[in-house]
Structure 1
C-alpha cells in the first residue's frame, strides 16, 4: 500500500503547482514544487518518520515549510487561497484525455470552468482557441471520460480496502466482488461481513456512517463507494461465491446455503475455483483447475527504468530493491533515443550505461537492455549494430497509437534482437483505449520468432488483459511478467502482473519469470 502521508503531500504539492501555473506564477518555482511532489511520491521512507525535510535532495526551506504544514494540519493555506480563485469543478477537466494544463489554461481564460460547460460548448461548435484536431481529440476524450466516469483502478481499491481494515480493525471485513476477482477497473469496493445472531443492520450501518440498501450497507470512503454485503455464518459460502463471481460463472452453478465455497463447488462436481478465474465459465475447469501462478514463483523482472532516462532511482537502487525481492536476475531497460520526452538514451549514453553495468559486481545477474521504440514504419529506434551490444530488448510502441497496428508490430518482430513485445495494446486504463491488433497473426509471429508477450504490471496499464494473455498461452506464446518500474517502490507492481496472469489461468510453466534461460 502506498504511504498515505507521502501520497497526500505529493498530491497537494502537485495541485499547488498546477494552480500556480494556471494563474501564471513563476515557472522556476512551479518546477521546483513539481520536482518535490515527485520526490515525495517516490520516496522509500515515510514522511511520518522524517523531521528535517531539507536533507532530502531537491527540497529547500520554502517547500520544507509547506510539507511541515501539510503534515501538521492536513492542508496547505497557500493552496486554500488559490482554491478560492479556481472553481473546484474546474479540476475535473484534468481527467479528460486531450486536455493538458496548457489547454486548461485556455479554458480558464475563456471562463469555461466545468466538464458540463465544456461538453455543452464543444459539441455545439469547434472552440476557436483550439485547432480542428484539438477539438476532435477533446470530443473523443469527453466521450471516453463519460464511459468511465466514477470508476477507479484496482490498485486504488486495494489501497482503500487496506485503509478500511486499519480504520475498522475490530471488524472482520473480507473482500469480494471485482476487488477479490482483481478486475482491472472498479465501480465500488465490495466487502462482505459475517454477522452474529441478533445482529442489527441499522446500528451497524450507523457505526459506518452508511445507509442500508437491502442486504447491503453502503458508505463512502475517500470519495469512493463502499458496499458491504451481510451474511449469516451458515450461508457465508453461498453469499461469498455469488458476490465474487460474474454472471457467466454463476449461470453454470447451483448455489447451496452452506458455510464454504468449497462445498458448493464440490456439490456441483468441481474442484475449488480461485476468485480470479470466476470471470470465466466454470465448465472450462471441469477436468482441471490450474495451479495458478503466485508471487513466490517470480524470481526475475525484465523491464524497469532508472534515472538514466525517466526513472526516479539509480541503477544501484533498482538492483538493491530487486535483491530485496529475492530475484536472481533483472534487466535494466531505459528508453531509447526517440523517447526524448522520457529522457531516451542516445547511442553513446546507452553504451556508457552498458559499460557501467558490465563493470559492476552485484548479488544478482543484471542484464543490459533497452525498451526500444517501435517506429511508425515498424523499424526499431536503434540500429542492429547497437541492439547487438545489449543483452535484452523490450520492443514497445509509444507514439502514434491510433488505428490498427498489426503490420507495424509484425514488421518489428522480424528484428532478430527482440526478446519481449512490451505493453502491446498501448492502453492506459481510464485514460486511453488501446489500438487494434490482429492477435492470431501476432501470436503466430511471436511463436515463430521465440519472442515473449509482456504482461505489464503498471496499474494504469495491466497490458495485456486476461483474455489476450489466455489466448497467447493457448497458442504456445510465453508471457513475460514485468513491472515497468520507474522507482524502487514500483517494483511492487509485480503483484499486479501476477493478478493478471492468474485471471488468464496461467501457472508458472507459461511465464519466463521463474526458470528462463537466455
Structure 2
C-alpha cells in the first residue's frame, strides 16, 4: 500500500507530541515538528522520491537521521522508534493535546495524577469532578474540557484540501490505467476547491463501466467496498476517506461533470431555470421532452440555459447564476498572475531554509520579489528577532540584492500585535522596512470587542501594512478567535491597510466569504504562503483557490502587481 506524505507527517507529529509529553530534549521535539511541516508542504510524493533514489537529506529540516526514518516508513510501513515510544507512553495520550488548553505538561499531569490516557478517560474524570481537584485546573477549566471533547466527537471527519489532493492524484493516476477509460476527473467539493473535503466524487468515461468498476475496487488502499454496481461504486479508504466513482458515456460527460461538481444549491437553481424554459437537466444531459439536446460539455448545459459557464469555485449559489445571466462573472485570479510572495520565514526565526536559499527558490519559481518576514521578538518560541537582529538581517538583504539579479528581496517582518494594540518593534526599525505583516499570535481568548479594538489600534500605526492570517484559525484544529471582521475590513479601507489570504492549507485565512467582503469594499488582499522552507513556497496555489472562491480578480490582489506599483500601494 502506498504511503502518503500526510501519513509520514502524522507519524512525526505524533512522535513529537509523545516526546514533548515525556519531557525529551526540546530540540529533538522541534526537529520532528519541523520535519512534519516540511513533509506536508512537499509538492511531490516522498514515496516516489524514495523509489527514485533521491537524497531526502537535502530537503529542508530533513537530516540523515530523519531521512532514514522516512525510508523505513515508506519501505516497511512501520516506524519502529514511534512504536517503542508508544510502549513507554500511551499512544492515545497525544490525543489530549488536541483539546484547547491542554499542552504537553498538562497532559502529563493528568496522566500522572489521574491515570488519564485518552479522551474517554478525560471525559469520565471531568464528569466525575476529578479534574477540578488538580492544582491549576479548577471547575471552569473542567467544564471547558467537557465542552471541547463533545465538539471534537461530534465533528464529522473532513480532510484538508491539500490532504485530499494527495489521495485524489493517486486515484486519478490509478484509474487512468484502467482499460478503455478516456477521461478521469475528481469533481464535488474538491473541484470547487473547498478548504475541506468530506469525500471524493470521481467521474470517468468509458464504454465498459463494469470493467472500470472492477479495476477501481482493486485499488490497494481500499479498506471496505461499500457498494458496487455496473457504473458506480462507493469505497472507503484505509485513511477513512470515502470515494464515489461514477462511469458515464462520453456524450454525457459535461452534464455528469456539472451534476457531480455541485454544489447542490447551484444545481437546484439550474434545474429551476431549466423547468422555466421547458427543459430538463440531469447527469445524462439536457432534454426537451425526450429529445437529447446536449451534455457532452458543461458549456452546452449552461449555454442552453442562457448562462455563461460558471467556474467551479463559484458554484455555491451566492449570486454566480445572476452574474452568469448578466455577463458579469469575474475574471478570476490565476496562479500565473502572482508576481511574488509577501510572507516567508528563514532560519533567522523558525524557518528551515536560509535567506539565500529562499531567494533562489523564489527566483526559480519566476517571482519578481519575495518578502522575508521573520518573526519579531515577542514570538520567543519562534526565535523572534529584536531590533538589533532585524537590523542585521536588513543589511544582509541589501547585500544579497546587490549580488542577485532577477529578483528583489523585500525587507519585512511578521510583527506581533501585542495585547494593547501596539506593535512589537519600535518605529525606528519599522520605518526601514519595505512592508510589514502584522499578526496576532497569542491571547486568542480576548472577547470580540477587545480583540477587534486590539487590531484596530495596531492598524493606526502608519507602519502597519498587511494583517496576517486575520482570524487566527487552523482548519479543523482551532476556531477563529472572536472578532468583528467586517469592522476590521472597513478600518483597512479607511487606513490604507490590506488583509492576507494565508495560503497554507492549515490556515486559508481569510476565508472565501470575507475575501468577497473585502473585494466589495475595495480592500485588496495579499495571497501569501507563510513559507517556513523553500518547499513551503509551493502552497501558493491553495491561496489562489481560496481567492477564486471569494470572487477575487487579478486587480484585487496586491502581489499580482510589479514592485514599482506595489511599493506605491503600500505607502501610507
TM-score of the two chains, using structure 1 as the length reference? 0.89
Q: Assess, with a 3 A threshold, how the Cα gap between structure 1 residues 397 and 140 changes in structure 2: closer, same or farther.
A: farther
Distance in 2 (alpha carbons) for counterparts of 1:504 and 1:60? 40
Shift of 1:178: 1.1
CA RMSD of aligned residues (A): 3.0
Contact 1:205 1:211 in 2 (8 A): no
1:120-146 Cα shifts (integer Å, max 9, x gaps): 332442513351254344334324423
| Counterpart secondary structure, 2:474 | coil
Shift of 1:386: 2.0
Q: Assess, with a 3 A threshold, how the Cα gap between structure 1 residues 180 and 85 changes in structure 2: closer, same or farther.
A: same
Aligned to 2:76, which of 73, 78, 90?
73
Q: Tell me whether 4-13 or 433-442 shows the greater mean CA deviation.
A: 4-13
| Counterpart secondary structure, 2:106 | helix
| 1:159-238 matched pairs, under 5 angstroms | 159-171=166-178, 172-197=183-208, 199=210, 203-204=214-215, 206-208=217-219, 209=222, 210-212=225-227, 215-238=232-255
Residue 35 of structure 1 corresponds to: 31
Shift of 1:400: 1.2
Shift of 1:47: 5.0
Q: Assess, with a 3 A threshold, how the Cα gap between structure 1 residues 37 and 484 changes in structure 2: closer, same or farther.
A: closer
| Counterpart secondary structure, 2:350 | coil
Distance in 2 (alpha carbons) for counterparts of 1:391 and 1:425? 24
Shift of 1:393: 0.7
Residue 121 of structure 1 corresponds to: 125
Q: Assess, with a 3 A threshold, how the Cα gap between structure 1 residues 332 and 163 changes in structure 2: closer, same or farther.
A: same
Residue 517 of structure 1 corresponds to: 566
Aligned to 1:95, which of 98, 101, 104?
98
1:54-90 Cα shifts (integer Å, max 9, x gaps): 8999888876765554454231334334445555554
Contact 1:312 1:487 in 2 (8 A): yes
| 1:331-480 matched pairs, under 5 angstroms | 331-360=371-400, 361=402, 362-363=404-405, 364-402=407-445, 403-404=447-448, 405-480=451-526
Q: Tell me whether 285-294 or 342-351 shows the greater mean CA deviation.
A: 285-294
Shift of 1:367: 1.2
Contact 1:379 1:412 in 2 (8 A): yes
Q: Assess, with a 3 A threshold, how the Cα gap between structure 1 residues 247 and 123 changes in structure 2: closer, same or farther.
A: farther
| Counterpart secondary structure, 2:210 | coil
Q: Assess, with a 3 A threshold, how the Cα gap between structure 1 residues 166 and 221 changes in structure 2: closer, same or farther.
A: farther
Q: Assess, with a 3 A threshold, how the Cα gap between structure 1 residues 219 and 370 changes in structure 2: closer, same or farther.
A: same
Distance in 2 (alpha carbons) for counterparts of 1:464 and 1:472? 10
Distance in 1 (alpha carbons) for counterparts of 2:153 and 2:209? 44
Distance in 1 (alpha carbons) for counterparts of 2:341 and 2:106? 38
Contact 2:61 2:352 in 1 (8 A): no
| Counterpart secondary structure, 1:331 | strand
1:216-246 Cα shifts (integer Å, max 9, x gaps): 4223153322222343333332322122122
TM-score of the two chains, using structure 2 as the length reference? 0.81
Q: Assess, with a 3 A threshold, how the Cα gap between structure 1 residues 194 and 503 changes in structure 2: closer, same or farther.
A: same
Contact 1:235 1:259 in 2 (8 A): yes
Aligned to 2:158, which of 144, 147, 151?
151
Distance in 2 (alpha carbons) for counterparts of 1:88 and 1:310? 28
Aligned to 1:131, which of 131, 137, 148?
137
Shift of 1:104: 2.6
| Counterpart secondary structure, 1:477 | coil
Q: Assess, with a 3 A threshold, how the Cα gap between structure 1 residues 126 and 56 changes in structure 2: closer, same or farther.
A: same
